[in-house]
Amino acid sequence: MKNTIEKILKIDRRLIFLALTLLLVFPIVRPLGLPNKNIGNEVKALHDKIEGLPAGSFLMLSLDYDPATRPELHPQAVAVIKHAFRKDLRIMILTLNAGATGLIDEIGERIPKDIAPSKKYGTDYVILPYQPNPVAVMTQLGMDMFQIYDKDRDGADLKSMPVMKGIRNVKDMQLGMCITGTAMLDYWVAYTADKFKMPFAGGTTAVSQIGYAPYLQTGQLKGLMGGMKGAADYELLIGEKEKGTAGLDALSLAHIMVIALIVVANIMMLWLKYL
């Protein structure tokens, strides 16, 4: 018995990988439809913040994530854009991460198709090109953004676009938001939100979410979405279930598997030690 338990404790990790694969593939093939009941307070705060903005308000959305964190962060971006368009907000999408350009192109493709077909590029929203040196961009956005962004990603003049009417810097914008898998949100808070007193919110990966709780408590961030669960919560709040909600089943099973493995491993360890 002891030998068996020792063998199980030293099981080949590839078998664990296989078990996890099967557990993750199953809900994708056959969705469980688990209900998402509890919505995080910070997600609710973000939703309420956007909900409270009057029509015509300006939202600056910085999508600073790359394809690696796409499954967690892309649904967040899509949900926020849908909500913002529903509230008739003007949206400016930019990125400080070179890897995000393709993902933004995908969003740009989807807006006229299914996200908000009635919204017009240049009048209701604009997409800016990638800019290196994030700190320089953040600082300049607080002073005169047209010094650094004079054209949109297609090379059209930015200042003359109707969507940019009355906007010169972040002080003219009603809300800023950064969705990122890196520490970029820290920089946005330090160099833009705090420095220029701009209301700011964020979207991060689940593992980074806890790091931003101090900012939520001090009011430096008005709301925060964390990981796929945050995206699913937001989709529930706006009543449009998408990839965020779809991934919750797999997420649930993976979590339960981790808990089960830890419990089983420790029971076996105790068994070996005391019996």
Partner 1 sequence: MLNIRIIPVVFAVLFAASAVSAATPASPKNVPVKPDLSGFEAKDMPYDKGEAVLLSWPAGPADVPGAVWQVYAASGKDWVKADEFPADKKLAADIELPFWAWDRHAKLHVVQLDMPGLFNDFKIGTEYRFKVKYVNGKETAESPELPAAPKPNLFNLARLNNLLLLIVTTIVFFWTVSHAKRKGGLFIRRIAGLDAIDEAVGRATEMGRPIFYSTGIGSMSAVPTIASTSILSEVAKKVAAHDTQLKVPHFDPIVMTVSKEIVKQAYAESNRSDSYRDDINFFVSQDQFSFAASVDGMIHREKPAACFFIGHFMAESLLLAEVGATTGAIQIAGTEQESQLPFFFTSCDYTLIGEELYAAGAYLSKEPMLQSTLKVQDFGKAFVMLSIVAGSALLLAGTWFKMDTLVTVVKHLFKAY
Partner 2 sequence: MTLIKKHIPLAICFIVGLLTLSSYYVPTQSSEKYVETMNKWENIVAGFAFLLGLFSLFFSHTRKITRRVDGWGYSLFVFVGFLAMVVPAIVSNGKQMIGADLTGLGWGYRFLFNALSGTMFSVLAFYIVSTAYRAFRIKSAQAGVLFAAALVLMLAKVPLGQMIWEGLFGWTGAWDIAQIGQWLMDVPAVAGKRGIMMGLAIGGIVTALKIIFGIERQYMGKD
DSSP code for 140: H
Tell me the C-alpha to C-alpha distance, in Å, between residue 206 and each of 8, 137, 225. 31, 26, 8
Q: Which of 18, 25, 28, 210 binds partner 1 (CB under 8 A)?
A: 210
Which residue in 145, 147, 191, 209 sits closest to 172, CA to CA? 145
Does residue 125 sit in helix, strand or coil? Answer: strand
Please choose which of partner 2, partner 1, none residue 194 contacts, taking the beta carbon within 5 to 8 angstroms, the exact cut-off set by kind: partner 1
Please choose which of partner 1, partner 2, none residue 168 contacts, taking the beta carbon within 5 to 8 angstroms, the exact cut-off set by kind: partner 1
d(CA 229, CA 78): 14
Q: Which is nearer to partner 2, 56 or 256 (CB)?
A: 256
d(CA 83, CA 75): 12
Please choose which of partner 2, partner 1, none residue 217 contacts, taking the beta carbon within 5 to 8 angstroms, the exact cut-off set by kind: partner 2
68 binds partner 1 (CB under 8 A): yes
Is the distance from CB of 219 to CB of 197 less than 8 angstroms? no
Minimum Å gap between C-beta 49 and partner 1 is 20
Tell me the C-alpha to C-alpha distance, in Å, between residue 140 and each of 96, 147, 176. 13, 7, 15
Which residue in 240, 234, 235, 248 sits closest to 114, CA to CA? 240
Does residue 233 sit in helix, strand or coil? Answer: helix
150 binds partner 1 (CB under 8 A): no
Give the per-residue contact string, 86-125, with partner 1 (x = CB under 8 A; - = no): -------------x--------------------------
Binding footprint of partner 2 on the chain (CB under 8 A): 11, 13, 16-17, 20, 24, 34-38, 40-41, 66-71, 99, 101-102, 105-106, 109, 132-133, 135-136, 139-140, 143, 147, 206, 209-211, 213-214, 217, 229, 248-249, 251-259, 261-262, 265-266, 269
71 binds partner 1 (CB under 8 A): no
Does residue 49 sit in helix, strand or coil? Answer: helix
Single out the segment in contact with partner 1 by CB under 8 A; choices: 103-111, 116-124, 201-209, 224-232: 201-209
Residues within the interface to partner 1 (CB under 8 A): 66, 68-69, 99, 144, 168, 171-172, 181-183, 194, 197, 205, 207-208, 210-211
